[in-house]
Amino acid sequence: MPIAVTIDEGERSYIPAFGKRWLLPLYDPFLWILGADKAKQPLIEQAEVKAGFRVLDIGCGTGSMAINIKRMHPEAEVVGIDPDPDALALSMRKAKRTGLSIEFDRGFADHMPYADASFDRVFSSFMFHHLAADEKTATLGEIRRVLKPGGSLHLLDFVHEHDAHSGAPAHRHLIHRNGAVADRIESRMTSLMDEAGFADAKELKRGRNFFGPIAYFCAISPAA
């Protein structure tokens, strides 16, 4: 089970990739073998990023999503934010090897160091299920704050697979089968987006990867 670690005394805790800091070097190879990053490609495509857009990847981890966005849209400005300094260091090394200019910042998604209305697109992939209920609410509020009017949030995460007979959630995730993280897999994502003040919140499609059922969501930051 993932264990939250403290960055420094007095600072907030976070859950590192794979739940343990010493496993970080194995994170990218493991996801590559399982093809987990392939699921992020449709998320990038649905966002319709254009030249000149400023794009933010929250909970960017080791930077794979941000790097793929920049590769697909070299004329967009791409920024990643994550609380894990070790993951950020790896992100920066990966971006440097590819020759891509990407800004990586340390911080939490529910308290971001960016100005109001400063991004055209915000991405979140496989991060939301790690957040507690109050953190989800605060994070969606922050995303709406940093998005420009008419900008959009594009979110990919695990979802519950509903039992065909009862309609109740069936917990069938290989990794997060039990415990606090399993309980945080969201069953009302579009409702949370509506409550945060987004417009046209919707689930676009569902799929499945090695770890379980997944869903793609989007929502618009309304004009003031």
Do 209 and 36 touch, CB atoms closer than 8 A? yes
The pTM of this model reads 0.81
Q: Hey, how many other C-beta atoms are within 10 angstroms of the C-beta on 27? A: 17
pLDDT tens digits along 73-113 = 999 999 999 999 989 999 999 999 999 999 999 999 999 99
Phi then psi dihedrals of residue 93, to 5 deg: -65, -40
pLDDT tens digits along 38-49 = 889 999 999 999
Strand stretches in the chain, DSSP E: 5-6, 13-14, 54-58, 77-82, 103-106, 119-125, 147-158, 161-162, 169-170, 199-209, 212-220
Do 129 and 213 touch, CB atoms closer than 8 A? no
